[in-house]
Structure 1
Amino acid sequence: MIILFLFIIFLLGFPIAFSLGIVSLLQVINDGYPAIIVVQRMFTGADSIALTAIPLFILSGNLMYKGGMSKRIVDFADTLLGHLPSGLAMVSILACMFFAAITGSAIAATAAIGGILIPLMVEKGYDKEFCAPLLACGGSIGPIIPPSIPLLVYGTMANVSVGKLFIGGILPGILMGMGLIIYSYIIGKKRNYIGKEKRSTLKEILKKGLKASLSLLMPLIIIGGIMSGIFTPTESAAIAVIYSIVIGMFIYKELKLGDMWEIMVDSAKATGQVLVVVAFASLFTWVITVNNIPQIVSTFLLNIVNSKFSLLLIINIILLIAGTFIDTTSAVVIFTPLFLPLIKIFGVDFIHFGLIMALNLTIGMCTPPLGVCLFVSGSIAKISLKQQFKDLLPMIFVLLIVLMLITYIPSLSLLLPSIF
C-alpha cells in the first residue's frame, strides 16, 4: 500500500523528494512512532562521509566544463574517427565516453558535447532528428563510466565497495559507446553522412592528443588512485576539484575567477537536489523496513519466479519502466532496499546488480516521458521530443542489447573488480 500510494503521488506531479517525505511521514504517524524519528532518519541518511563525494564530483564536473576540457576532448576524438562515414556522429559518442570519465553526469555530458557537436553536425548535413537523440543516448554513458553518482549512492546504501563499482562500470560503459558507434557507422553509410575528406595524420593526432592529455589524465588519476588504494572515492573527488581548478585556470586559462560564483551556485543547487532526495529516501527506507515491505516484495516475487534468469528479467522490466518517469538517483534509493534481499537469496553479486540497476536507470534518462537528456539535446537542436522519437527507438534497442549482455554475462561487470 505504501509503494502504491507513493506512485500515485508521483503521478500527481509532486517532486520526488517531497513524495518520499509525505508518504513516509504519514506512515510514521499511522504506525504511532514519535515525529522525532523523521528528523533522525533524514539526518542519518545524509550524514555519510561517502556522500561527501557527490558535491565534489558535481563541482569538478562544472569546473571542467567551464575550463575548456570538453572542446579539447572533441578535437582529439575528431582526429581519431572524423574521417569515417558518419564521422562526426562517431566522434560525438567517443567524446561522450571521454567526458563521462570526467564528470559522471549524463546531463553534463549531453550538454557539454551536444552544445559543441550538434550545431556542427547539422551544418555538415546530418538530420537534427538523428543528432539530438544520439547525443542524449551518448550522454547516458555518463553515470556508467566512473566516476558515477548513482553508483556512489548505491554503494553507500548497499554497503559495498564504491571503488569496485566504479571499476566495474568501465566495460559496460565501453560497450554502450561501441554499440552506438557501430550503429552510427551503419546509419552514416545508409544516409550518406560523409566524414572529413582526409584522415588525420599521425602528427595531427599526436598534437590534438597532447592538447587533450591533461583532460584525459583526470579519469586515470581518479580510477588509478582508487584501484591502487592511494585514496578513497571521496578523496578522489576532492583531488578532481583541485585538478580542475589548476588546469582550467592556470594552464588552459579558460576558467576565470569571475566564473566561480556561478559554478558554485549551480553545483550547490545540483547537490541540494541529490542530497534532499537521499535524506528523504533514508526515512522512506526505514519506514518500509519496519513495515516489512522488502520481505513482502521478496515473497511475492519468489512465488512467480523460479530462477535467477527470470528474476533479473522481471527486475530489468520494472527498472526500465521506473526509469522513464523517476530520476536516476531517486530510483536507486527507492529500489535498492526493495531488491537487495531478493537478489541475495538468488546469489546475485551486489556489484553486478548495482551495474544492472545503474544501466537500466540511465537508459531511462534518454527515454520519454522523463528523458531529461532528450530535453537537453532537443533544446540544443531546437526540435521537439516527438521529432526525435523515430531515430531514438533503434538507439534504445542498441542500449537494451548491451543491458542484456551485462545482465546475463556477469563477468562483463565483475572481471575488472576481480583483477584489481
Structure 2
Amino acid sequence: MSLLLLAIFAVLLALGAPVAICLGLSSAVVIVLHGLPVSVLAQRSLNALDSSPLLAVPLFIFAASLLNATGVTTHMFDLVRMIFGRIRGAVAQVSVFVSLIFSGVSGAALADIGALGAIQVEQMKKQGYREEFAAGLTVAAATIGPIFPPSIPIIIYASVANVSAVKLLIAGIVPALLLTAFLMLQVAIIAQLRGLPRDSIRPASGDVLRKFAISLPALLAPVLLIGGLISGYFGPTEVAGVTVAYAILIGIVVYRSLTVGKILSALRETTEATANILFVVATAALFAWVLTLDQVPMKASALLLSLTENPFLLLLLTNVLLLIVGMVLESIVAILIIAPIIAPALTAAGVDPLQLGIVFVLNLMIGLLTPPVGMSLYMISIITRMPIARVIAGVIPFFVPLLLSLLLVSAVPALSTWLPETLMK
C-alpha cells in the first residue's frame, strides 16, 4: 500500500502537479483501490484542520502583512543602520539584525523575504556590494524567522508531533540568537577579507533617538508576543490575535498609514497564503494516515533504532535525511509527512522533543536555500530579477554558519531546552 502511495505521489510530483494535489490524489487512489471507506477522505482531512494551534497561522500571516503595509520595516532598517553604520560591512550586518527583529512578528521565511528582501538588497547594492552577496545574505538571514517565535512551521510541527506549542516556540529563541550571531560573524570575516564598505549614513545628533521613537511601537511587538507566551497569559492562538490587534492599533493611531484599502489587501494576501497552507495540511494528514495504516512509522522507528540507540547519532542521521528531503519537498509538507514517522522513534531513544522540533525545523529552513525546490531562492530571484544560478552562488558561503548552528543545536540539547524549562517551571 505505502509503495503504491509513494509511487503515485512521485509521478504526480514529477509531472508538476501542485504538492497538495499530489498528496490528496495519491491518497485517494490508494484508499479506493484497497476498498477503504471513501468517507475517510473528508473525515481525516477535516480532523487535521480541527486544531486550535493552527488558528494562529492565518493570524500571524495577517499581522505580518499589516505591519509591512504600515512601512515600519523601513523605519527599523534605518534605525539599525544608524547604530551599525561605522563598522565595515555595516549594511550587511544590518540586514541580519533586522531579519531577527522582523522575525518577531512574521513567523515565516518567505514573509521576511517578501517584506525586507527588496529593501535589504537595494541598500547593499547602493553601498557597492555585489548583487550575489546581497541576495545570498538576504535569504540566509530569512531562516532566522521560522526559528524565532512566532513561527508557523514550529506551530505546525507542534500540532503534528503532540508537543507543547508554547514550549517549542520559546525553545527557538536561543538557537535563533545563535544563528544570528554566526551569520553576523561570517559577515564580519567576509567584510575584512573583501574590504566591504562602511555605511554612508551619517546621522546628526538626535536622529537616532527620533528614529528610535518612531520605530519603538513596532519594536515592542515581539516583546509583547514573547512576554505573553512566557508569562502564560497567552497561548499561540491568543497571542496571534493580540498581535493582529496591536498591528492595527499602531498602524492607524501611531503611524497613520494603515488605510481600509491596505487592510483589505492584507486580508487578501492572508486568505491566499492560509488557503495554500491549510490545503496542504489537510491532504498531508490523509497521506500520513495511509502510511500509518501500513505501519510505516512503526517500521521506520524499528529501522532507526536497529542502526543505533545513541540520541546524537540518531539526530545526525535525521539531519542528513531532512537536508535531502528539504531539497525536494516544501518545508510544511515535509513536517506533515515525516514528523509523525520519525519523531516517535527519536523520542523513544531519548532525544528531547523540544530539541527534536527545533532541529527538524532548522533543517527544513536550510532546505529553503537548496535547489530544486528552494522556495527562498526563487522568491529572491523574482524580487531581484537575478538568474537563479547567481542567487545560489551568492548563498553558498552562508551555508557555513547555517550548518554550524545546526550541528551545535543537534549536539547540545540545552540550547533548545534550557530556556523553556527555566521559564515554564
Q: Where does 1:159-308 land on structure 2 (aligned, <5 Å)?
A: 159-196=162-199, 203-308=206-311
Distance 2:324 2:189 in 1: 29
1:202 positional shift? 8.1
1:29 positional shift? 2.0
Secondary structure at the aligned position of 2:139 is classed as: helix
- Residues 214-258 of structure 1: CA distance to partner in whole angstroms, max 9, x if unpaired? 111111111111111112110111111111111112211122111
1:128 equivalent in alignment to 2:131:
yes
Per the alignment, residue 417 of structure 1 pairs with 420
Secondary structure at the aligned position of 2:67 is classed as: helix
Distance 1:274 1:50 in 2: 14
1:274 positional shift? 0.6
Q: 1:201 to 1:317 in 2, by over 3 A?
A: farther
1:6 positional shift? 2.9
> Which among 375, 390, 405 is matched to residue 378 of structure 2?
375
Q: Where does 1:90-129 land on structure 2 (aligned, <5 Å)?
A: 90-129=93-132
1:50 equivalent in alignment to 2:49:
no
- Residues 144-172 of structure 1: CA distance to partner in whole angstroms, max 9, x if unpaired? 11100010011111121111111111111
Q: TM-score, normalised by structure 2?
A: 0.95
Per the alignment, residue 37 of structure 1 pairs with 40
Q: TM-score, normalised by structure 1?
A: 0.96
Q: 1:192 to 1:127 in 2, by over 3 A?
A: same
8 Å CA contact 2:85, 2:200 repeated in 1:
no
> Which among 67, 77, 92 is matched to residue 64 of structure 1?
67
Distance 2:235 2:144 in 1: 23
Q: Where does 1:16-31 land on structure 2 (aligned, <5 Å)?
A: 16-31=19-34
Aligned sequence identity (%):
34
Distance 1:140 1:22 in 2: 31
Distance 2:49 2:68 in 1: 27
Per the alignment, residue 395 of structure 1 pairs with 398
Distance 1:419 1:205 in 2: 35
- Residues 3-50 of structure 1: CA distance to partner in whole angstroms, max 9, x if unpaired? 454344323322111111122112222332110011000010011122
Gaps of 5+ in 1: none
- Counterpart amino acid of 1:318? L
Distance 2:388 2:201 in 1: 35
- Counterpart amino acid of 2:108? S
Per the alignment, residue 386 of structure 1 pairs with 389
1:378 positional shift? 2.5
Distance 2:197 2:351 in 1: 45
Of 398-407 and 291-300, more deviation after overlay is shown by 291-300
Q: 1:3 to 1:303 in 2, by over 3 A?
A: farther
Distance 1:83 1:200 in 2: 11
Aligned residues: 420
> Which among 13, 16, 26 is matched to residue 13 of structure 1?
16
1:121 positional shift? 1.2
Q: 1:139 to 1:237 in 2, by over 3 A?
A: same
8 Å CA contact 1:133, 1:366 repeated in 2:
no
- Residues 306-354 of structure 1: CA distance to partner in whole angstroms, max 9, x if unpaired? 4222211111011111112211111110111111221122111111111
Per the alignment, residue 354 of structure 2 pairs with 351
8 Å CA contact 1:82, 1:90 repeated in 2:
no
RMSD: 1.7
Distance 2:411 2:280 in 1: 31
> Which among 310, 314, 318 is matched to residue 315 of structure 1?
318
- Counterpart amino acid of 2:62? L
Secondary structure at the aligned position of 2:328 is classed as: coil
1:419 positional shift? 0.9
